Amino acid sequence: MTADPVRLHHDGDVAVITIDNPPVNVTSQPVRAGLMAALDAAVRAGAARIVLTGAGRAFVAGADAREFDAPPQPPHLPDVVARIEASPVPVVAAINGAALGGGLELALACAARVAAPAATLGLPEVTLGVVPGAGGTQRLPRLIGVAQAVAMIAEGRVIKADAAQALGLVDAVCDDPLAHAARMALPDRPATGARPTPAADDAALDAARARAAKRSPRQIAPQRAVDLVAASARLPLDQGLALERAAFLDLKTGDQAAALRHLFFAERAAMALGRQGGAPVERAVVVGGGTMGAGIAYALAQAGIQVATVETDAAAAERARGNLARLYADAVRRGKMTAGQAAADQAARHSLHSGYADLPPAQIAIEAVPEDLTAKQQVFAALDAALPADAILATNTSYLNPDAIAQPVRDPSRFLGLHFFSPAHVMKLVEVIRARATAPETLATALRLTARLGKIPVLAGVCDGFIGNRILTRYRQICDVMLIEGALPAQVDAAMRGWGMAMGPYEVQDLSGLDIAYANRKRLNWASQPGVRYVPIADRIVETGRLGRKTGAGWYDYDGGTATPSAMIDAIVTQASAEAGITRRAFSDEEIVARATTAMIAEGLQILDEGIATAPSDVDLVLVHGYGFPRWRGGPLHYAGRAGLTGVLARIEGYAAADPLSWQVPAILRRAVETGVGLDELTGAPG
Ligand code: NAI
How far, CA to CA in Å, does 199 sit from each of 92, 206, 229?
26, 15, 11
Is the CB of 520 within 6 Å of ligand 1? no
Longest dimension (CA), the chain: 91
Is the CB of 373 within 6 Å of ligand 1? no
Residues 6+ apart with CB under 8 A from 71: none
Looking at the domain assignment, is residue 268 inside a domain? no
Is the CB of 402 within 6 Å of ligand 1? no
pLDDT at residue 526, as a whole number: 86
Residues 497-511: what's their mean pLDDT? 96
Contact in structure between 685 and 617 (CB atoms under 8 Å): yes
Residue 393 and residue 482 in one domain:
no
Looking at the domain assignment, is residue 135 inside a domain? yes
Task: Assign residue 426 the CATH number of its domain.
Answer: 3.40.50.720
- Report pLDDT digits (tens) over 521-569: 898 888 888 888 999 999 999 999 999 999 999 999 998 889 999 999 9
Q: How far is CA 14 from the centre of its chain?
A: 43
Q: Sort residue 466 into left (φ over 0), alpha (ψ -120 to 50) or beta.
A: left
Contact in structure between 17 and 51 (CB atoms under 8 Å): yes
Residues 6+ apart with CB under 8 A from 328: 298, 337, 342, 343, 345, 346
- Report pLDDT digits (tens) over 371-400: 999 999 999 999 999 999 999 999 999 989
Residues in the chain: 687
Is the CB of 87 within 6 Å of ligand 1? no
Q: Tell me the one-letter amino acid at 429.
A: L
Looking at the domain assignment, is residue 271 inside a domain? no
Contact in structure between 84 and 39 (CB atoms under 8 Å): yes
Distance 285 CA to ligand 1 centre (A): 14
Task: Assign residue 54 the CATH number of its domain.
Answer: 3.90.226.10
Is the CB of 396 within 6 Å of ligand 1? yes
| Choice from 286, 287, 291 to test ligand 1 binding pocket (greatest atom count within 8 A of CB) | 291
Distance 406 CA to ligand 1 centre (A): 17
Looking at the domain assignment, is residue 651 inside a domain? yes
Looking from the CA of residue 290, the nearest atom of ligand 1 is: 4
The C-alpha angle with vertex 185 and arms to 179 and 189, in degrees rounded to 5, equals 130
Which residues are known catalytic residues?
Answer: 105, 125
- What does residue 408 show for φ and ψ, rounded to 5 degrees? -80, -5
Alpha-carbon distance of 372 to 358, in angstroms, equals: 25
- What does residue 215 show for φ and ψ, rounded to 5 degrees? -70, -40
Looking from the CA of residue 398, the nearest atom of ligand 1 is: 34
Q: Tell me the one-letter amino acid at 552.
A: G
Is the CB of 131 within 6 Å of ligand 1? no
Residues 208-220: what's their mean pLDDT? 94
- What does residue 57 show for φ and ψ, rounded to 5 degrees? -80, -20
Distance 287 CA to ligand 1 centre (A): 8
- Report pLDDT digits (tens) over 433-484: 999 999 999 999 999 999 999 999 999 999 999 999 999 999 999 999 999 9
How far, CA to CA in Å, does 302 sit from each of 331, 366, 573?
11, 16, 46
pLDDT at residue 560, as a whole number: 84
State the pTM of this model: 0.93
Residue 200 has pLDDT above 60, yes or no: yes
Residue 243 and residue 383 in one domain:
no
Is the CB of 515 within 6 Å of ligand 1? no
Residues 239-245: what's their mean pLDDT? 97
- What does residue 663 show for φ and ψ, rounded to 5 degrees? -130, 130
Alpha-carbon distance of 315 to 371, in angstroms, equals: 21
- Report pLDDT digits (tens) over 265-287: 999 999 999 988 999 999 999 99
Looking at the domain assignment, is residue 110 inside a domain? yes
User: How many domains does one find in the chain?
Assistant: 3
Residue 425 and residue 482 in one domain:
no
Contact in structure between 465 and 473 (CB atoms under 8 Å): yes
Residues 36-46: what's their mean pLDDT? 98
| Choice from 285, 324, 327, 369 to test ligand 1 binding pocket (greatest atom count within 8 A of CB) | 369
Is 132 strand, coil or helix?
A: coil
| Choice from 353, 398, 467, 469 to test ligand 1 binding pocket (greatest atom count within 8 A of CB) | 398
With a pLDDT cut of 70, the percent of the chain lying above it is: 99
Distance 293 CA to ligand 1 centre (A): 7
- Report pLDDT digits (tens) over 630-657: 999 999 999 999 999 999 999 999 999 9
DSSP letters, 560-615, are TTEEEE-HHHHHHHHHHHHHTTPPP----HHHHHHHHHHHHHHHHHHHHHTTSSSS
Distance 292 CA to ligand 1 centre (A): 6
Is the CB of 375 within 6 Å of ligand 1? yes
Is the CB of 370 within 6 Å of ligand 1? yes
Q: Which residues pair with 100 in a beta bridge?
A: 122
- What does residue 138 show for φ and ψ, rounded to 5 degrees? -100, -40
Residue 128 and residue 227 in one domain:
yes
Residue 234 and residue 348 in one domain:
no
Contact in structure between 506 and 478 (CB atoms under 8 Å): no
Of 423, 443, 460, at which residue does a domain stop? 460
Atom 39 (ligand 1): residue with closest C-alpha?
Answer: 422
Residue 179 and residue 304 in one domain:
no
Of 408, 442, 460, at which residue does a domain stop? 460
Distance 342 CA to ligand 1 centre (A): 24
| Choice from 287, 292, 298 to test ligand 1 binding pocket (greatest atom count within 8 A of CB) | 292
Residue 549 and residue 649 in one domain:
yes
Burial class (CB in 10 A: 0-12, 13-18, 19+), 548: buried
Residue 453 and residue 499 in one domain:
no
Looking at the domain assignment, is residue 263 inside a domain? no
Residue 600 and residue 645 in one domain:
yes
DSSP letters, 669-687, are HHHHHHH---HHHHHT---
Looking at the domain assignment, is residue 620 inside a domain? yes
Residues 6+ apart with CB under 8 A from 164: 115, 119, 121, 170, 173
Is the CB of 293 within 6 Å of ligand 1? yes
| CA nearest to 345, candidates 403, 389, 376, 299 | 299
Looking at the domain assignment, is residue 269 inside a domain? no
Residue 1 has pLDDT above 60, yes or no: no
Residue 473 and residue 356 in one domain:
no
Contact in structure between 629 and 501 (CB atoms under 8 Å): yes
Distance 538 CA to ligand 1 centre (A): 23
Among 271-280, 580-589, 613-622, the least confident range: 271-280
Residue 111 and residue 189 in one domain:
yes
Distance 576 CA to ligand 1 centre (A): 33
Residue 428 and residue 301 in one domain:
yes
Is the CB of 431 within 6 Å of ligand 1? no
Is 122 strand, coil or helix?
A: strand
The bridge status of strand 112-115 relative to strand 120-122 is unpaired
Distance 457 CA to ligand 1 centre (A): 21
Q: Which residues of 578-610 are buried (b: 16+ CB within 10 A; e: fewer)?
A: eeeeeeeeebeeeebbebbbbbbbbbbbbbbbe
| CA nearest to 260, candidates 427, 131, 451 | 131
Contact in structure between 585 and 485 (CB atoms under 8 Å): yes
pLDDT at residue 408, as a whole number: 97
Of 416, 443, 460, at which residue does a domain stop? 460
Sign of the dihedral defined by the CA atoms of residues 53, 58, 60, 66, in that order: negative
Burial class (CB in 10 A: 0-12, 13-18, 19+), 444: middle
Q: Which residues pair with 117 in a beta bridge?
A: none
Atom 15 (ligand 1): residue with closest C-alpha?
Answer: 369
Alpha-carbon distance of 640 to 648, in angstroms, equals: 7
Residues 514-526: what's their mean pLDDT? 88
Residues 6+ apart with CB under 8 A from 417: 394, 395, 396, 397, 402, 431, 432, 433, 435, 460, 462, 466
Mean pLDDT, the chain, rounded, equals 96
Is the CB of 407 within 6 Å of ligand 1? no
The bridge status of strand 283-287 relative to strand 58-60 is unpaired
Residue 205 has pLDDT above 60, yes or no: yes
Q: Which residues pair with 60 in a beta bridge?
A: 99
Is the CB of 287 within 6 Å of ligand 1? yes
Give the DSSP H or E segment for 11: strand 6-11
- What is the domain extent for residue 534? 468-683
